[in-house]
């Protein structure tokens, strides 16, 4: 690939990334009201039951996509069949598997509520699996055609604002089940916001009927991708499930709130997925592995820089951040710090995996599976060790977060090394100014946390913006190359070049 072509690819990644980062900001603006409403109105115990149920439903939906969130781009790039037929094949497969998954959860609802009794209509939550799966596949199909705006609308506007508003309204209908009702409504709203542009772009298939053999072949080819998706998702959610097995719902609820705040940086990585995946698929088809390495290295630096800024901004004043959700959630401050650190440590491996799922599917799957087992074992071991030592519940509950941080650090080391060897190019690298910016911002933040108690309000209102300014002042002046600056350019108007 020529230098000009490589620059065009980076520009396209930056443009798509900017669009999705805008979506990230919109998602954040809508998600914060939900956390405030859930924490202040419903309390830790109800939030904890909701958190465990949702983690099971979303796992079922992820498995139902059979890896098409990532694999659809490659399937479309390598087929001679009409694209509308291929995507509807995928929708048919996802719907079939979703029905099976829903039936299992409906028959055994205790899977969704392992630490509390099943009450009322809670088992009906299982029926929403198909909506999550269909939304994911339709957005992946749109991303292949360069439409990332649909994902921003569905995931960053419709879904979070629906759940925030509905959670408030349903509280006065049922203070026990209101969060679950709100979640179901938000998933249906997101599905609608995904299907409308999907049908406009691809249309309704003419002369199409599901083909059993191609569908089975598609599912078989995507087993490594489905496994990689499920394991990556499991790495970020198994800690919540383990807590549900070892602690009452209130403890899970506090941890869930810390997890939701810490997952804000994770959304930055997923902001680039709809753009990076198709680009890797195209370069792989063209045999240009060096270009893949350059793109992964570039995106990895962008993401880890933004994630480090969020770690400093949310981690240094962690008690104040958790206190906004509710006084009883301050106990999750230690977990929040470890979870935020885990997001930074995970980013190199997560971006490397975007390439590994195409160039070394099975090896990536095996590595991820072993690491997930290691994380689960370490989580149990840390909790039980602290319990035997007589440490408090809040320290015990932070054990899975510590295990996550250590596991993702190990994963990043292994996966970056493997991908670099396969591509014959470096896929990750930091610059001295990055560490200087982090150190300076940490000093600024520490000064605000040392203020007298009567001035604690300054910690969040002034301290967080000051940390942001100190970090990016140094990054902007000494760490950014010309390629990096493409990410921060003004978004072009419609019809103008990026």
* Cβ atoms 406, 419 nearer than 8 A: no
Classify residue 112: in a domain, yes or no. yes
DSSP string computed for 11-79: HHHHHHHHHHHHHHHHHHHHHHHHHHHIIIIIHHHHHHHHHHHHHHHHHHHHHHTTTHHHHHHHHHHT-
Lowest mean pLDDT among 146-150, 399-403, 482-486: 482-486
Residue 161 has pLDDT above 50, yes or no: yes
* pLDDT of 497 strictly over 60: no
Query: What are the pLDDT digits (tens) for 330-376?
Result: 999 999 999 999 989 988 888 888 888 788 888 988 998 999 999 99
* Residue 491: per-residue pLDDT: 39
Examine residue 447 and state whether it is found in any structural domain, yes or no: no
Name the pLDDT band for 484 (thresholds 50, 70, 90): low
How many other CB atoms sit within 10 Å of the CB of residue 488?
13
Name which residue leads in pLDDT, 173 or 476. Answer: 173
Using DSSP, state whether 209 is helix, strand or coil: coil
- pLDDT tens-place string over residues 433-473: 899 999 999 999 999 998 887 777 888 889 999 999 999 99
Q: Is residue 89 part of a domain?
A: yes
What percent of the chain stands above pLDDT 90? 42
Q: Is position 487 within any domain?
A: no
Chain position carrying tokens 């360069």: 146
In this prediction, residue 19 carries a pLDDT of: 57
Q: Which two tokens stand for residue 268?
A: 């930055």
* pLDDT at residue 20 is higher than 70: no
Is residue 72 included in any domain, yes or no? yes
- Segments forming the whole domain that contains residue 355: 3-430
The average confidence (pLDDT) of the chain is 84
So what's the pLDDT on residue 293?
81
Domain count, the chain: 1
Is the overall model pTM greater than 0.85, yes or no? no
The verdict on residue 436 lying in a domain is no
CA nearest to 397, candidates 294, 285, 289, 245 = 245
Band of residue 391 on the pLDDT scale cut at 50, 70, 90? very high
């Amino acid at each position: 690939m020529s230098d000009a072509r490589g620059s065009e690819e980076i520009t396209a990644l930056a443009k798509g990334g900017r669009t999705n980062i805008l979506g990230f900001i919109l998602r954040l603006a809508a998600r914060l009201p939900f956390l405030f409403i859930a924490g202040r109105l419903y309390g830790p115990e109800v939030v904890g039951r909701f958190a465990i149920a949702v983690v099971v439903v979303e796992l079922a939906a992820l498995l139902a996509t059979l890896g098409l969130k990532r694999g659809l781009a490659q399937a479309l790039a390598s087929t001679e069949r009409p694209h509308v037929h291929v995507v509807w094949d995928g929708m048919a497969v996802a719907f079939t598997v979703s029905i099976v998954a829903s039936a299992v959860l409906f028959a055994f609802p205790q899977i969704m509520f392992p630490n509390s009794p099943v009450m009322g209509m809670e088992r009906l939550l299982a029926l929403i699996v198909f909506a999550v799966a269909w939304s994911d596949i339709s957005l992946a199909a749109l991303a292949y055609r360069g439409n990332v705006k649909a994902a921003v609308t569905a995931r960053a506007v419709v879904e979070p604002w629906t759940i925030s508003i509905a959670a408030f309204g349903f509280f006065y209908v049922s203070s026990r089940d209101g969060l679950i009702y709100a979640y179901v409504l938000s998933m249906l709203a997101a599905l609608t916001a995904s299907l409308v542009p999907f049908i406009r772009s691809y249309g309704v298939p003419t002369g199409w009927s599901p083909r059993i053999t191609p569908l089975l072949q598609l599912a078989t080819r995507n087993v490594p991708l489905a496994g990689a998706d499920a394991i990556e998702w499991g790495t970020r959610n198994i800690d919540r499930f383990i807590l549900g097995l070892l602690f009452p719902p209130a403890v899970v609820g506090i941890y869930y709130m810390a997890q939701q705040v810490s997952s804000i940086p994770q959304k930055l990585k997923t902001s680039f997925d709809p753009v990076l995946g198709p680009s890797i698929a195209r370069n792989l088809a063209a045999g240009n592995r060096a270009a893949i390495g350059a793109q992964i290295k570039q995106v990895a630096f962008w993401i880890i820089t933004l994630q480090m800024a969020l770690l400093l901004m949310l981690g240094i004043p962690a008690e104040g951040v958790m206190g906004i959700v509710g006084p009883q959630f301050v106990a999750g401050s230690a977990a929040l710090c470890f979870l935020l650190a885990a997001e930074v440590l995970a980013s190199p491996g997560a971006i490397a995996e975007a390439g590994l799922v195409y160039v070394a599917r099975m090896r990536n799957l095996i590595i991820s599976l072993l690491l997930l087992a290691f994380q689960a074992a370490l989580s149990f071991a840390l909790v039980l060790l602290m319990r035997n030592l007589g440490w408090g519940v809040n320290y015990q509950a932070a054990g899975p977060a510590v295990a996550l941080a250590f596991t993702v650090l190990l994963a990043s080391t292994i996966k970056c090394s493997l991908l670099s060897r396969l591509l014959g190019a470096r896929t990750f690298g930091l610059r001295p100014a990055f560490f200087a910016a982090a150190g300076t911002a940490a000093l600024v933040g520490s000064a605000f946390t040392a203020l007298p108690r009567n001035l604690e309000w300054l910690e969040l209102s002034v301290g967080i913006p000051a940390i942001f300014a100190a970090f990016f002042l140094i990054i902007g002046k000494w760490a950014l190359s010309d390629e990096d600056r493409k990410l921060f350019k003004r978004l072009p108007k419609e019809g103008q070049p990026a």
